[in-house]
Structure 1
Amino acid sequence: RGDGSFQGKPAVILSVQKQPAADSVRLTREVEKAIEELARSLPEGLEAPSFLFKQADFIEHSVNNVAEALRDGAILVAVILFLFLLNVRTTIISLMAIPVSLLATALVFRHFGLSINTMTLGGLAIAIGELVDDAVVGVENVLRRLKLNRAASTPRPVIEVIAAATLEVRSAIVYATVIIVLVFVPLFVLPGIEGRLFTPLGIAYIVSILASMIVSVTLTPVMAYYLLPRMKQLHAGDSPLVIWLKRADARLLHWSFARARGLLAGALLLVLLVAASVPFFPRSFLPPFNEGTLTVNVLLNPGTSLSESNRIGTLAEQLLGDVPEVTKVGRRTGRAELDEHAEGVHYTEMDVDLKASDRSRAQIVADIRQRLGTLPAASNVGQPISHRLDHLLSGVRAQIALKIYGDDLDTLRGLAAEMRGRLAKIAGVTDLQIEKQVLIPQVKIHLDYEKAARYGVAPGNLLRSLEQMIEGERITEIVEGNRRFDLLVRLPE
């Protein structure tokens, strides 16, 4: 049994679950097309369907955010490179490593059937600054060797100079790249959810770094051959920024060598302090993120009637509708018996869609909690994806769950109430609630086998008759139009 509503009006709430290998964004577009076709054929009195929550929106928003970070990182790299090199040609040669490496990474993804998601884009965003490292080392050494070759009394052929300059730094480039790759290798042996999350990030990072290494010893020398030898500024020295940094570095080195022991002792002390402070850092499996949608659960005592749950649920909808940021509210009271998360009619779940606001998510959630606190029910406020992750990790819809085991339900209830009182005093604890449990009356039937034998009644037949009277027996089928109903005969409740 159950009920549903949307914006305070009776409604049917439909959830669409995708197959594990399906593309969420593409599937959402297909569902939207199907809904548009359905809306055109609705009978009178029914409103067109409206979406409450689409995971595709969160996916697209996240991917766009990381893509913007990737773009901004590339722009910053270009600006910094030009400030240091102060040369358009060397900057272009170095920057070519970024698009070529990203293209090579995309080809590898396509070959192995990997998708572009927030984790793979995150790996590319982390690597964006390092993609030009190998190319910068190569082009800087080529430029230096070309300057020396031009100043020599008997200049060598340009192609030989570039080849020798590239080979000169090749070993350093390869060793540095291998060391960086080795740092990310442990990500591939992480078990469980951690491995599923971070493996794509590690693959994207490693593939792009290896691609940049190959670019630095193939494409970079070729571009240097065509762009650098005829450069007018080949005799020019370092840029003003590099000159200033070299002077500052020289002064810093002289100052450090004069105080070597003190610096070593200070560095060791700093390392020890950092290591000692690690246990005191806050920890969480995933950082909090804003999904743009909230999931609100309202729980009454088990056994509460559907009409009473609907009344409390309607009040909760009205309270949520008064929050300035709330645009849509959909409510489901109760869950079907075959539902993966089957619940009684005492359980209400609401999907709340939010609009952009000057208030932070924490402020909006605090406002909602304060409003729902006036209801005679326990409430929980979360986010759809975070809510599912919590349920997947711990089996409960919360970040922390404490379970007490025992044989006496009354004792367990007392301990739970005592623990709840203590936990409520801890700063930062919200949505604290005890899992609702009630005693279910049971009737135990014991047979008197002697009397049953005296009257010639077989115990098995007697138990079967009692079961039929209590649970009911299907005796026929009633047809009403296109619908069919089973007719059961049983004892009254």
Structure 2
Amino acid sequence: MNIAKLSVLRPIAMSMVIVLMLILGGVSMRGMPVDLFPELTFPIVAVTTTYEGAGPEEIENLVSSPIENAMGTLPNVESVTSISRSGGSLVLVAFEWGTDMDFASLDMRERIDSVRDFLPAGANTPRVLRFNPSDLPIVQLAVTDPTGEMTKAKQLAEQEIVPVLNNVDGIASISVEGGAANEIRITLDPNKLNSYGVTLDQLQQIIASENLNLPGGALQDQNQNLPIRITGQYENIFDVKSLPIPTKNGVITLDELGEIIETLEPTTQLSYLNGEPAVGISILKQSGSNTVTVANDIEKQIEEMKKILPEGVQIKSIFNQSDFIEQSIRAVATNMIVGSILAALVLFLFLRNVRSTLIIAFSIPISIVTTFIFMYFTGQTLNLLTLGGLALGIGMMVDNAIVILENIYRLRQSGLSLKDAAIKGAGEVGPAIVASTLTTVIVFLPIVFVDGLAAQLFKPLALVISFSLLASLFTALIIVPLFSSLLLKVNKKQSNFEERFSTFTQWYRRVLQSALKHPKKTVSLVLFLFSISLIGIPFLGKEFLPQQDQSFISMSARLPEGSALEATYAVMEDINEQLQMLDEIDSTFITVGGADNFSVRAGTQTNRANYSILLKPVNERNRTDMQIADDIRQRLKNIPGADISISSSDSGFSSHPISLSITGPELNTLKGIADDVISIISEVDGVREPTSNYTEGNPEIVVQLDRTKASQYGIGSAQVAMAVSNATRGIVASQLARDGEELNIRLALEDTYTQSIEQLENLLITTPLGETIPLQAVASISRGQGPTQITRTNRLREITVNAHIVDRDLGSIVDDIEKELRDRIYLPTNQYKISFGGQDEQMNDAFFKLGGALLLAIVLVYMVMAGQFESYFYPLIIMFSIPLTAIGIITGLLLTNQPIGVGSLVGMLILTGIVVNNAIVFVDYVNILKKQGLSTTEAILEAGPTRIRPIFMTALTTILGLIPLTIGIGEGMEIQQPMAIVIVFGLSFATVITLIFIPVVYYLFDQWREKRRNAKDQITA
């Protein structure tokens, strides 16, 4: 080929190009962001709204419903789900995959602006939140104080730690959870207020208006213009106590109306680290920033801060995503190096020539560097999948180089000079390796047209493998001929291995000759093996993505609705006793109350305790995170009154393994069906923690206003609600600035009227005429039970049943659940439906789309080969190697106990392009020999022994290069392992197919064509 000739004749220029590529590759690698997975765009947007004091039914009607109606008219919307709970609304809008989420979010904000006026006056402005795994914290810290004073710990976190960390490049936001804050609480006696004729609203206005520093103009004095500033801000609690209050009985100080003290403000959230009170800090990174770099910079800042922190104060990392990233990438890099070494050993074993081995060995780093250049300029990141793609491509990178080098070596042995052998050797097999490379690259084209989560995950992997193969093609066509013309040295004496391989080649020739004599028996035997392998398909399970051991377990404990924070804390202590018995746990961070850091929720949840459990590294424990999680389940199953949910091996972007959606009009009927479903699926082997998102009603106090009586006093619902709210929650009137912090000044009534229903009935309400009447005079008060939350999907009531799985594959468990529900569940009418969602829905969607991509890839491979051979006939022969690889694939998956998943399907996609490569080289050489005058049989018997060495070398380098990934050595290898297994076992059998079956099929088809040609000649004659 001209390009090979140019590289051979211009070695100095090509050497300069190589050096420049190495420099560019190094710069590219350093400039690429490092992350766990590629940045994903989820077509889900959340709209959150808070409306303090409102129950779920009011939230549903007044807040969720208007937002649902507005969101439902947006284009490309698949579903609208609303969750209405006490104090807040969460509306989840799911768009079709492929939707431009930037424009979709903008449309949502415009629709929200149009419905804002229809929301109740007390509701906050709805916020639009894009859901993205990168929005999850990359680092979580815990701050502890040995004195146990959480006010100081929180103040330290907010005023000292957070400002320093905000200076780190790449941080998007930092949130502080837990701890406590001081406030100035003014506890008022309602009787004194009445006797002095003062109301809470009046006190609030006085306290706020007096706490100001105001300008008072300017004064000319001695030729100076002096501004006047009137200072009235409170400097300490004594200023608040001595504040003069005008009343109908004269002016008095504020402390005469009640007790004024500095105390802790009410809290609905507590945090603990290993049982000790702590303050949590969650850090999110900016989109596109380097996770590892940001996390490392955070750790450096923390180490600097530790030197100046008060004695005993500790900052501990409870979660650091970069640790798992670094461990995973280190494992991938190690596997790449091991794979490269194994490939080099194969080359040396076959060639027995150090220089030849070095030529191929040089081609690997040059191909890798070229790949990094492609990755950098296409905006890829260094992550588990892109590096996994590079590891998958290591073995394939040298295939083209081996074919060309082996041909050059053979021609050099025949007597050609180094330069002539390099030019002719590259020219002879150049078209074949271009075709074989294009067949491998072309299989990834269909992924471009596939959408969904699986496509977003594996598109970068497909790109990297394509880049690596194109880089290897460049290396094989240019670098290998160049190095061969300069360094290649032919062994004049055969080594022991070469002699043995020559004996093997002779044996192979005899086998091939026997197969050609009995072609129908050979074909029948292969088809029999193919049929036998298909019997194993029912024994293969199905899964979406493999579980990944990230040494992290997330757990939540939920008490009955309405449980106070103190009751939740008591259960937490019981749980902690059990967790302390597990040696594999490194640390435990607990948040009592509030919401889980890793989910978008609305409203307060004082009945929940969320656990972030950090395990010891994988190499320091004998059990996986899933086994430890299941052990925790068994230990905690007898905790009274607590509903425990445990999640492990969570990548952060997949749904629950089992998720059943039950929809219908009546909530009570849905609850009954959900209870039956939970009872049924809990009996299925492998199912753990089946729970529904429906919980028993939240205990509540119902104040029913008698409008007739209330109107006689001139009182309305708003005034009653305000009086009750002020009595139970108090009013924040202003803030007191002190030492860099702001303390709330809270007005609160004595709890005389809020300790029981009977006392609440005696709550005094001031009428417009200044009279005071008890609440029971205008309203009846009773204890009731309201729904905790109301969920609707596409305006239909919905209850979702979720469950985890252990020790079985997802597909088998779903099949068992479907059978059990079909036989045992009863749905009252057609209005009630049960549908599968979660990972099962994601799995089926991915299987359908990737299956279509696989079929399209086969068609594209055939088209590329048809263009290369300028024939429809020879590509058809080569295509027989693709379906028969199922023998190796199924055998490999059964032997390794791997279910079919997205990783396996992507492996099959890659294998589709790989398995035809050797067949292309084989058939191309047969055609060359036939053009030289040999018969079909002679050409096959000549081509087989000639091409067996490069075929074996390319197959073994690819297989051995993937052995570390196949074994799954190191952390984070779970996703690449199924791909590697499919390629290794599939390619192993494909090699046998190429060497035996393809020649036989070629022979049979050639005979058939010859018979047709003779028949036509006879008809013509």
TM > 0.5 fold call: yes
- Deviation at residue 451 of structure 1 after TM alignment: 9.7
User: Is 2:286 aligned against 1:32?
Assistant: no
Distance 1:247 1:438, change over 3 A: same
Q: What are the Cα deviations for residues 276-331 of structure 1, in whole angstroms up to 9, with x where unaligned?
A: 65465322221112111211222221211111111111221221111121121111
Report the Cα distance in structure 2 between the residues aligned to 1:298 and 1:336, rounded to whole angstroms: 12
**Which stretch shifts more, 331-340 or 310-319?**
331-340
Tell me the equivalent position of 1:62. Answer: 328
Tell me the equivalent position of 2:262. Answer: none
User: Is 2:431 aligned against 1:174?
Assistant: no
**Which stretch shifts more, 476-485 or 84-93?**
476-485
Report the Cα distance in structure 2 between the residues aligned to 1:135 and 1:380, rounded to whole angstroms: 54
Equivalent in 270, 274, 298 of residue 3 of structure 1: 270
Matches within 5 A, 1:66-465: 66-150=332-416, 158-228=418-488, 231=489, 233-234=491-492, 236=494, 239-272=498-531, 274=533, 278=537, 281-335=540-594, 340-342=600-602, 344-355=605-616, 356-376=620-640, 377-383=642-648, 385-386=650-651, 388-390=652-654, 393=655, 398-440=656-698, 441=700, 443=702, 462-465=716-719
Equivalent position amino acid for 1:350 in 2: Y
Report the Cα distance in structure 1 between the residues aligned to 2:418 and 2:670, rounded to whole angstroms: 85
Equivalent position amino acid for 2:613 in 1: V
Report the Cα distance in structure 2 between the residues aligned to 1:143 and 1:232, rounded to whole angstroms: 7
**Which stretch shifts more, 420-429 or 339-348?**
339-348
Equivalent position amino acid for 1:307 in 2: E
Tell me the secondary structure at the aligned position of residue 589 of structure 2.
strand
- Deviation at residue 178 of structure 1 after TM alignment: 0.3
Distance 1:425 1:141, change over 3 A: same
Q: Which has the higher strand share?
A: 2
Question: Is residue 469–residue 489 contact of structure 1 (8 Å, CA) maintained in 2?
Answer: no
TM-score of the superposed pair, with normalisation by structure 1? 0.87
Tell me the secondary structure at the aligned position of residue 62 of structure 1.
helix
Tell me the equivalent position of 1:153. Answer: none
**Which stretch shifts more, 261-270 or 14-23?**
261-270
Equivalent position amino acid for 1:218 in 2: I
Bigger Cα Rg: 2
Question: Is residue 548–residue 649 contact of structure 2 (8 Å, CA) maintained in 1?
Answer: no
Equivalent position amino acid for 1:329 in 2: T
Equivalent position amino acid for 1:21 in 2: G
Identify which of structures 1 and 2 has the higher relative contact order when contacts are C-alpha pairs closer than 8 Å and 6+ apart.
2
Report the Cα distance in structure 1 between the residues aligned to 2:533 and 2:300, rounded to whole angstroms: 55
Q: What are the Cα deviations for residues 191-233 of structure 1, in whole angstroms up to 9, with x where unaligned?
A: 13212211111111111110111111111111111122xx362
Equivalent position amino acid for 1:363 in 2: Q
Question: Is residue 707–residue 716 contact of structure 2 (8 Å, CA) maintained in 1?
Answer: no
- Consecutive unaligned residues of structure 2, counting only runs of 5 or more, are 1-267, 755-759, 761-1021
Tell me the secondary structure at the aligned position of residue 405 of structure 1.
strand
Equivalent position amino acid for 2:309 in 1: L
Report the Cα distance in structure 2 between the residues aligned to 1:306 and 1:300, rounded to whole angstroms: 10
Question: Is residue 681–residue 687 contact of structure 2 (8 Å, CA) maintained in 1?
Answer: yes
Tell me the secondary structure at the aligned position of residue 332 of structure 1.
strand
**Which stretch shifts more, 2-11 or 233-242?**
233-242
Distance 1:330 1:263, change over 3 A: same
Q: What are the Cα deviations for residues 9-33 of structure 1, in whole angstroms up to 9, with x where unaligned?
A: 1111221122222211111112212
Question: Is residue 552–residue 615 contact of structure 2 (8 Å, CA) maintained in 1?
Answer: yes
Report the Cα distance in structure 2 between the residues aligned to 1:362 and 1:475, rounded to whole angstroms: 47
Report the Cα distance in structure 1 between the residues aligned to 2:629 and 2:710, rounded to whole angstroms: 66
**Which stretch shifts more, 358-367 or 271-280?**
271-280
Equivalent position amino acid for 2:561 in 1: P
Report the Cα distance in structure 2 between the residues aligned to 1:298 and 1:317, rounded to whole angstroms: 12
- Deviation at residue 444 of structure 1 after TM alignment: 8.1
Distance 1:246 1:336, change over 3 A: closer
Tell me the secondary structure at the aligned position of residue 149 of structure 1.
coil
- Deviation at residue 272 of structure 1 after TM alignment: 4.8
- Deviation at residue 408 of structure 1 after TM alignment: 3.7
Tell me the equivalent position of 2:261. Answer: none
Question: Is residue 564–residue 606 contact of structure 2 (8 Å, CA) maintained in 1?
Answer: yes
Distance 1:225 1:259, change over 3 A: same
Tell me the secondary structure at the aligned position of residue 272 of structure 2.
strand
Report the Cα distance in structure 2 between the residues aligned to 1:131 and 1:232, rounded to whole angstroms: 24
Q: Over the residues paired in the alignment, what is the CA RMSD in angstroms?
A: 3.0
Tell me the equivalent position of 1:154. Answer: none
**Which stretch shifts more, 290-299 or 260-269?**
260-269
Q: Number of residues paired by the alignment?
A: 472
Question: Is residue 331–residue 351 contact of structure 1 (8 Å, CA) maintained in 2?
Answer: yes
Q: What are the Cα deviations for residues 83-106 of structure 1, in whole angstroms up to 9, with x where unaligned?
A: 111221222112222111001111
Report the Cα distance in structure 2 between the residues aligned to 1:136 and 1:59, rounded to whole angstroms: 34
- Deviation at residue 275 of structure 1 after TM alignment: 5.2
Q: What are the Cα deviations for residues 250-288 of structure 1, in whole angstroms up to 9, with x where unaligned?
A: 232234334422332343344455556546532222111
Question: Is residue 548–residue 650 contact of structure 2 (8 Å, CA) maintained in 1?
Answer: no
Report the Cα distance in structure 2 between the residues aligned to 1:475 and 1:331, rounded to whole angstroms: 29
- Deviation at residue 367 of structure 1 after TM alignment: 2.1
- Deviation at residue 413 of structure 1 after TM alignment: 2.8
Report the Cα distance in structure 1 between the residues aligned to 2:745 and 2:669, rounded to whole angstroms: 45
Equivalent position amino acid for 1:65 in 2: A
Report the Cα distance in structure 1 between the residues aligned to 2:401 and 2:294, rounded to whole angstroms: 41
Q: What are the Cα deviations for residues 332-366 of structure 1, in whole angstroms up to 9, with x where unaligned?
A: 11226998335512111112222221234443233
Equivalent position amino acid for 2:679 in 1: G
Question: Is residue 102–residue 208 contact of structure 1 (8 Å, CA) maintained in 2?
Answer: yes
- Deviation at residue 160 of structure 1 after TM alignment: 3.2
- Deviation at residue 41 of structure 1 after TM alignment: 3.5
Question: Is residue 475–residue 489 contact of structure 1 (8 Å, CA) maintained in 2?
Answer: no
Question: Is residue 409–residue 421 contact of structure 2 (8 Å, CA) maintained in 1?
Answer: no
Report the Cα distance in structure 1 between the residues aligned to 2:523 and 2:403, rounded to whole angstroms: 30
